[in-house]
A = this chain, B = another copy of it.
Amino acid sequence: MMKKTVLATAILTLSQLPTALAPVAAEEVSTERHKVSINTLASGLSHPWGMTFLPSGDLLITERGGDLHKVSLDGTISDPIKNVPEVVAERQGGLLDVTLDPDFANNNMIYLSYSEAAQDGGTGNSTAVARAELAGDSLQNVEVIFRGVPKYESNAHFGSRLVFSPEGHLFITLGDRYSAMDDAQLLDNHHGKVVRIWPDGSVPEDNPFVDRDDALDTIWSYGHRNVQGAAIHPQTGELWISEHGPKGGDEINISLAGENYGWPEATYGVDYDGTIISKKTHLEGAKQPHYYWVPSIATSDIIFYTGDKFPDWQGDLFVAALRGSHVARIDLEGERVMHEETLFDEAIGKRIRDIEQGPDGYIYVITDQPKDAELIQIKPAN
């Protein structure tokens, strides 16, 4: 059984009410460079976390509770796809990101990140990544290609975004598990790391720590807090990431091979009463942020816009924000930040969990609510 979105249902139900009460599905807003139309395409999702476009133009959308749906732009939400790996759906944990294999058109492979319980009857959990073949309404040949170590008792800071490099590596961004934050500076674990593997789980020979006995060879960069956003820069091919700071200190970083990004030794975060915490903002040998926010906007995913529907936004970095309930547009000149614009804080005004550019050149976001989360399309106003 297919279910239509709550919004679509509401339109049917309300169709006999006075016109003034009819729900508005589209809103036009002016921004600095483009007038846009905000269109709610689907509603009724529960904490959707990741999304990706299929060649058909439909989306795969994860729900943190553990379901994976196919969602059409007409608002149709499929029943849960079968055979998704079992997840630990507690607080920030659950079914997280989804992405397609670069060769999906030929192999139908998708990748899912999720919080996975210990396999051996032990305690704790960690972020894992599975790949599987999408066959109709079910996954087949599900294979776990990455398991973060150690399994750890926490239900916070799992990362995680999945992004393919231009050369076909899979980047997996991870979190520090909160209470294990000091591990982010140590190379013998996956807490607070960005990982680079091949799609079959094997380790690229040129990973930065493959020759070090005291380091995990899957690690690409370290000293991160909770990396919930990732995108490849369209010109440089480098991996850009967003990470949550503590109270303040959300960061954009360019994740480079073997580099340390300082957490938790250095941060721009401030304490909950607004006073400066004792930590440094600079750590010898570590990278400074490429850009940062105080107070936190609570960054989630990021994209570089490369489409033709918004010419003045080409090359810009778009950062979805949970607490900020907006999208930050970062106007870049090459890699350099020239300007920040706050978008859709009034027109959407909800926690935004994921952002993608559609194959149609429009921008899509999903909001983060327990029952009525939405898929929203942003396109040029007529």
Contacts and interface: CB of A to CB of B under 8 A. Distances in A.
Interface string A291-302: 111100000000
A281 B312 contact: yes
A291 B337 CA distance: 7
Interface string A272-296: 0011100001000000111111100
A32 B248 contact: yes
A357 to B, nearest CB: 21
Contacts of A270: 32
Contacts of A32: 248, 268, 270, 276, 294
A338 B292 contact: yes
Contact of A338 (B33, B288, B333): B288
Contacts of A339: 268, 289, 291-294
Interface string A15-33: 0000000000000001011
Given A281-B312, A288-B333, A333-B288, A276 B33 contact: yes
A336 interface: yes
A341 interface: yes
Interface string A329-373: 001010011111100000000000000000000000000000000
Given A30-B275, A32-B294, A289 B338 contact: yes
A338 B337 CA distance: 8
Contacts of A294: 32, 339, 341
Interface string A177-207: 0000000000000000000000000000000
In the complex, the count of this chain's copies comes to 2
A351 to B, nearest CB: 23
Contacts of A30: 274-275
A348 to B, nearest CB: 19
Nearest to A30: B274
Interface in A210-260: 248
Interface in A147-193: none
B276 A338 contact: no
Nearest to A287: B333
Interface in A30-57: 30, 32-33
A251 to B, nearest CB: 9
A35 to B, nearest CB: 8
Contacts of A312: 281
10 contacts: A32-B268, A32-B276, A32-B294, A268-B339, A288-B333, A290-B338, A291-B338, A293-B339, A294-B341, A336-B336
Given A32-B270, A292-B338, 17 more contacts: A30-B275, A32-B268, A32-B294, A33-B281, A268-B339, A281-B312, A288-B338, A289-B339, A290-B336, A291-B338, A292-B331, A292-B339, A293-B339, A294-B341, A336-B337, A337-B337, A337-B338
